[in-house]
Amino acid sequence: MANRQGPADGATGPVLVVIPTYNERDNLEPVVQRLFATLPSAHVLVVDDASPDGTGELADRLAAADERVHVLHRAGKAGLGVAYVAGFEWALERDYGAIVEMDADGSHAPEDLPRLLGMLGDDGTGADVVLGSRYVPGGSLVNWPWYREWLSRAANIYSKLALGVPINDITGGFRVYRREVLATLRLHDVASQGYCFQVDLAWRAVEAGFVVVEVPITFVEREAGQSKMSGAVVREALLRVTTWGVRRRGGQVLDLLRAARR
């Protein structure tokens, strides 16, 4: 493995950016170029779900030309959450100290990464999880249809109320984890396959006592390719968040009953 020194290093150790792909051939290379222009010492892991458009083959060519690029090929499209878990496990088998989630479609600006990574701190006393947030002061959306924004905002408000977590953008997919967070959380218990995976993992981090902070970002709608959002993904998220919320409220009621009996 290459010697990784420079701004992507620090107390957290070297940085790995995990980028899941499915039919992102037109977007992948420009995003990787922008990433290395911003963080030359970072590494990239492309997790490709057997994209029929040749994304996996492009990733292999990028890896052959640059030792900072790695590729994990999967047999088929099994969902965003499953792809991320595979990427996280790959990272934990190596010496990466900070693991980044980032989309391949250009909606997440690699130029924002130094700010997100900076919140981890250089002395180990910073945040454990840093979320790139569209819905805190300074965050924004560009070129999103009104109905997508409405759905996203509603999902985040609902998740925040149901789960009781002080996070404004818990569904966002641009985030940084300290290695210790992913090593502590039981990744194989994260059953969510779609975008609900983001809610699941952030909530688990809060429940485990890790420090989670939000940093404002500008989210830009993709220019090429198609969104992976679907009705099935939305239904999964609604069902799971509702189930978790009911379970949480039920636990609170039981705690109150036990306290009343003492």
pTM of the model: 0.84
Distance of CA 34 to the CA centre of its chain: 18
- Residue 185: pLDDT band with limits 50, 70, 90: very high
Summarised one tens digit per residue, pLDDT across range 80-129 is 888 999 999 999 999 999 999 999 999 999 999 999 999 997 655 689 99
User: Residue 23: pLDDT above 80?
Assistant: yes
Q: Among 16-30, 59-73, 104-118, 217-231, name the one with the lowest average pLDDT.
A: 217-231
d(CA 86, CA 40): 24
Q: How many CB atoms lie within 10 A of CB 54?
A: 13
User: Residue 236 has which token pair?
Assistant: 């999964």
- Residue that wins the pLDDT comparison between 162 and 21: 21
* Amino acid, single-letter form, for residue 102: M
**Which residue ranges form the domains of the chain, and what is each CATH number?**
15-261 (3.90.550.10)
d(CA 92, CA 63): 20
Contact predicate 181/65, CB 8 Å: no
Pairing of strands 98-101, 175-178: antiparallel
Predicted pLDDT of residue 179: 95
User: Residue 233: pLDDT above 60?
Assistant: no
Q: What is the mean pLDDT of the chain?
A: 84
Can you name the residues that pair with 199 across neighbouring β-strands?
Answer: none
User: Residue 68: pLDDT above 50?
Assistant: yes
User: Residue 162: pLDDT above 90?
Assistant: no
Place of tokens 């002080």: 166
